[in-house]
Structure 1
Amino acid sequence: MRYVVGYTDNDRGQDALELATSLALTQSAGIDLVTVLDWPQDGSMAPGSTRAREALERAKASVPEGIEVSTHLRLADSFAQGLLEVVGEIDAGLIVIGGSSNGLLRRFTVGSVANAVLHSSEVPVALAPRGYRHRSAFTRMTCAVGARTGAEGLLDVAVESAARRGLPLRLVSLVALDEHDPDSSGEAINKAHQHANSVLAQAVRQLPDGHEASVIVAHGPTIEQSIDDIEWDAGEFVLVGSSRLAQHRRLFLGATANKMLRALPVPMVVVPRDWVRAEP
């Protein structure tokens, strides 16, 4: 398994590198650091090529021993295009990028590169929150569960990924309450608990015997406030599915995932619709 990292010589690039390192340590995967420069207009060497190569080498040297790291300096019409070209060439299983530098500390803001990748990638995309500096193997995987079409596929991916990595699996159901209708809010919470427990039972049946699995239902006036009430571990990431509106094996963030993205203090991995892991 290889992870393509969108690297730039700034805080956003460092966020992505830290996340990729943690994932690689957990998965025993290799890292491909990719910097993309614009095509020069006059056919000469792209401006900044030397600095970019030096920055890539410094980033490579900072990765812990035992992780295989390759570097790529690409010319493309856009950063996202360059990343996706490398993904196709090396058959990578994941793209890792940092959030926008305009976000609040430990929160996401999706910049233009992340937005373009999220609408074009055929492989999962991992997003690092601003200021992310966790650099060790992950200790828990959380999967956002819902009742919409396609949710079963995400659960299958989460179960397989947690079992392969030996990580405890936590299932999270988020409920935004209608403060003007307490009766409907109570009904929504009860339905969420019933569904979450049903999904947990299904996950336990699929996981190896003795594998740790749990479920939590969080609710509040908004999805963002529901997330704020959840306890998050530093060594945790969240798996979410692509919207049902996405094309086959493509990414498209739905409304709930976008709200989660704005509030999460931990990395988010977005899985394409109908995605199936290619490696055994």
Structure 2
Amino acid sequence: MRVVVGFQDTGAGRDALALGARLAASSGGELHVVLVLASTERATLAPPEAGFTRYLEQAALEWLAGAQEWLARHDRGVPGGATTHLRWAESGAEGLLEAARELDAALVVVGAARGGIAGRFRVSGVANALLHAAEVPVALAPKKLRSSPAAGVSRVTAAIGLRPGASDVMSASIRLADALGARLRLLSLVAIDEEGLGTSDAAAAAAHAHVSTVLEGVHETLPDGVAADTLVARGATFSQAVVAVDFAGDELVVVGSSRLASAGRLFLGATASRMLRELPVPMVVVPRDAVMGEQS
């Protein structure tokens, strides 16, 4: 699996680096660490004297070298090592998407913004732009993930709603589980008071029926060695339902894009946004009507 990490010389950047290294190493794939400098800085920040651009580039190259050193120091090595890239673009998101296209990446990894609760998400400007325009899956690393001792991925959880249209999530989740050597879990979250589904038992029964139907539909397509099970979590609110789930420290959660997303594009919907705020583990958001590329 070819993984592109959007790196910055910050804690969030190292969270993304840790997750990217984990995914690349677990899949026996490639890790590409990309640092994007805004091209507008050349015009708006450069002083009259020459040399500012060279100074900025040198600083960025030192940050990328620091990323390599961090991987080695924390034993986050990837077979074949990590490849670093320095790019100029109009925005961080644009630069990362260009790199993902050129490298035929399976996914792009970014970290949470500063200011969030430890172990939870607060979406940065770059991540927000990616989550509303990307053509490839985007993985979000929660704050402080860099401190986690987890080395692999034991389980991929596909978040399946009660509405039709789980194919994007299932396709991406199956391929991820296969590439990472992980178990597959289908998760349905039921918010009793928010979805008007009647009693708690009736809502849970509907959710169980739905995830069982989805599992039956994909069972014959599961690769050899990928085991799958289901879970229905319920709560008075969506947030309570998420909190009720037992997530492993080395788990990934996969969610789909909003129905508002254009075909082949990613758009983070309201439900996934609420889930994001409560998750203690990395989340992967997949584009609508698209499956992960051949490099996955």
TM-score by length of 1: 0.92
Residue 88 of structure 2 corresponds to residue 104 of structure 1: no
Segment of structure 1 superposing worse, 129-138 or 243-252: 129-138
The 3 A distance-change label for structure 1 pair 166 and 121 is same
Partner of 1:174: 189
User: How many residues are paired up?
Assistant: 280
Rounded to whole Å, the distance in 2 between the matches of 1:248 and 1:101 is 32
Residue 214 of structure 2 corresponds to residue 206 of structure 1: no
Please list the CA deviations of residues 30-57 of structure 1 after superposition, one character each: whole Å capped at 9, or x if unmatched: 1111111222115851663222211101
Structure 1 segment 79-98 matched on structure 2, within 5 A: 79-98=92-111
SS at match of 2:161: coil
Rounded to whole Å, the distance in 2 between the matches of 1:30 and 1:61 is 17
Segment of structure 1 superposing worse, 162-171 or 124-133: 162-171
Structure 2: which amino acid aligns with 1:71? T
- Work out which of the residue numbers 231, 248, 252 in structure 2 matches 1:216: 231
SS at match of 2:53: coil
Rounded to whole Å, the distance in 2 between the matches of 1:74 and 1:97 is 16
Segment of structure 1 superposing worse, 90-99 or 122-131: 90-99
Segment of structure 1 superposing worse, 116-125 or 160-169: 160-169
Partner of 1:277: 292
- Work out which of the residue numbers 135, 142, 153 in structure 2 matches 1:122: 135
Structure 1: which amino acid aligns with 2:62? E
Segment of structure 1 superposing worse, 47-56 or 187-196: 47-56
1:243 CA drift (Å): 1.1
Contact 2:15 2:145 in 1 (8 A): yes
Rounded to whole Å, the distance in 1 between the matches of 2:27 and 2:212 is 28
Structure 2: which amino acid aligns with 1:18? A
- Work out which of the residue numbers 263, 266, 271 in structure 1 matches 2:281: 266
Contact 2:192 2:236 in 1 (8 A): yes
Q: What's the Cα RMSD here?
A: 2.1
SS at match of 1:178: helix
The 3 A distance-change label for structure 1 pair 273 and 183 is closer
- Work out which of the residue numbers 45, 54, 58 in structure 1 matches 2:53: 45
Partner of 2:64: 56
Contact 2:242 2:279 in 1 (8 A): yes
Partner of 1:8: 8
Contact 1:178 1:184 in 2 (8 A): no
Contact 1:139 1:236 in 2 (8 A): yes
The 3 A distance-change label for structure 1 pair 273 and 207 is same
Segment of structure 1 superposing worse, 158-167 or 112-121: 158-167
Contact 1:25 1:67 in 2 (8 A): no
Please list the CA deviations of residues 196-240 of structure 1 after superposition, one character each: whole Å capped at 9, or x if unmatched: 222222333322466421111001122211111111111101011
Contact 1:95 1:126 in 2 (8 A): yes
The 3 A distance-change label for structure 1 pair 251 and 180 is closer
Q: Identity, % of aligned pairs?
A: 44
Rounded to whole Å, the distance in 1 between the matches of 2:195 and 2:158 is 29
Rounded to whole Å, the distance in 2 between the matches of 1:181 and 1:7 is 43
Unpaired runs of at least 5, structure 1: none
1:180 CA drift (Å): 11
The 3 A distance-change label for structure 1 pair 10 and 210 is closer
SS at match of 2:249: coil
Contact 1:38 1:46 in 2 (8 A): no
Rounded to whole Å, the distance in 1 between the matches of 2:222 and 2:176 is 10
Segment of structure 1 superposing worse, 228-237 or 154-163: 154-163
